[in-house]
Structures are given as structure tokens and as C-alpha cells.
Structure 1
């Protein structure tokens, strides 16, 4: 009886160990969160940007757990991917170049130029009601 229980427990844990904890589908579709902005520069993707570039940082959770992510952030499949961001009836195209340590999973941290184009006044700082999609899912 004990050996049957151990076999069952081992089978359950084996299934857990081989299951992919982060499935690609959680990265597809429409994401919602807050829009914030930051002073861009050299981002996690190894690209230097300026305030007028239409670029974003995705949350570190989104960035670090994306299928194909490695310990070298420059090689993350999200680097250089396009995003369509929507807020208050406006829509812009931005490029992922960085990761945001203070962002929740669906948040985007914009360059100041992109934030102004999408949300408006930088003094707002944080705007709720953002929705966005990856323009295409990169290969892992």
C-alpha cells in the first residue's frame, strides 16, 4: 500500500516537473495595466535610446519569464518587438527595449515622448486603463 502511494506521489511530482510553468498563451492577447514613463538610456536589451524614441519597458516578470528568455537580457526574444498601446482612444506603436522592475505584469513604462503621445502630460505620472498587445509573438 505504501509503495503504491509513493508511486502515485512520484508520478504527480514528475508531471509537475515536466509541465511548462509559463505557457506562451499567457503572453498573447490583450494585456491591461498602467502606463508610466521613465528617463530612457541604455536598456536591458543593450540599446541606447533617447526621450523622443517610441520605446517601452515591460514588467520584469513579463520580460524574465517570457519563453526563450536567458540570463543575458540582450538575447531576450522580446527585445525589439513591436507593441500596439491603447489609452483613452489613442493608439501608438512602440518597441520593447527594457524591463521595468517596478511594473506589474500588464504595465508598460514608456519613454517620455511615447507617454506624451499616448497619455498626454508627463505630470500625470501614472495612468490606469492602458491596454496593449504584442504585434507578433516572437519565437522562443
Structure 2
């Protein structure tokens, strides 16, 4: 019995770890900023954290995503967001229900690495999962 339980755990571990290696890039979306709190990945965040909320369609259709957003394989992944010649590395921690596909919502501190907050919205950003 131990062997079959161990084999099942190994198979499940191998299957889920593969999702963390899925690479994805999107370009042409917008970047905005928001006041974070308890994110859909299940962690509390503050404005000075370097986190990102990913558009709802992308994060919910990511390979391995299920009904519980806390266990989404995108959660905790690093992402590089680029605008012009500037970029910032952030961690996926939330979902942006109002964002169009390919768009992201950044914490104010992360947004300021790309442009002043007074700009409000950046058009034509690119992001890549690392």
C-alpha cells in the first residue's frame, strides 16, 4: 500500500510542478495600478510590494488552474513587465477582473518603476513569466 500512495504522490507532484515551467508572454496590453490587500492567491499585500494582478481570462485559463484561485499555478510566479525601455520584476499575487486580456494591475511602487503614478495608464506594455 505504501508504494501506491508514494507513487500517487510522486505522480501528482510531477504533474503539478510542470505548470510552474509554463512560459507565457503577452504584449499590447495596458498597465494600471491599484491598492492591494488580500489577493486572489491568498496573501495580503501592501502598496510597496512588487506584485501584479493578472487579467481574469489569462490567470483562470492558465494550465493547471482550478476552482480554488489560491492554488493557481501562476500564483507566486515572477513576471517581467516592460514599458518602452523600462521594466520591473513583480510576483503574481492577484487577479484583475476589469483588465483586458494581456493587461495587468501593478502596485503603486511597481508602477512607478515604469512611469509616474500621475500617468495612470500605460498602453502597449509587454509581460513575460519568468
Q: Same fold (TM over 0.5)?
A: yes
Q: 2:128 aligns with which of 125, 129, 133?
A: 133
**Runs of 4 or more above 6 Å deviation:** none
Aligned length: 108
**1:37 aligns to 2:27 (yes or no):** no
CA contact (8 A) 2:27 2:124 kept: no
- How far apart, in 2, do the equivalents of 1:85 and 1:105 lie? 14
Match of 2:110 in 1: 114
TM superposition shift of 1:28: 2.2
Match of 2:80 in 1: 84
Q: Could you report, residue by residue, the CA deviation over 1:57-101 in whole angstroms, capped at 9, with x for unpaired residues? A: 000000111111111100000000000111121111100000001
Q: Is there any run of 5+ residues in structure 2 with no aligned partner, and where?
A: 1-22
TM superposition shift of 1:108: 0.8
- Aligned CA-pair RMSD: 1.2
Match of 1:53 in 2: 49
CA contact (8 A) 1:32 1:132 kept: no
TM superposition shift of 1:125: 1.3
Q: Is there any run of 5+ residues in structure 1 with no aligned partner, and where?
A: 1-26, 136-140
CA contact (8 A) 1:59 1:102 kept: yes
Aligned to 1:42, what secondary structure does the other structure show? coil
Q: TM-score, normalised by structure 2?
A: 0.79
CA contact (8 A) 2:78 2:90 kept: yes
Q: TM-score, normalised by structure 1?
A: 0.73
Match of 1:138 in 2: none
- How far apart, in 2, do the equivalents of 1:37 and 1:57 lie? 9
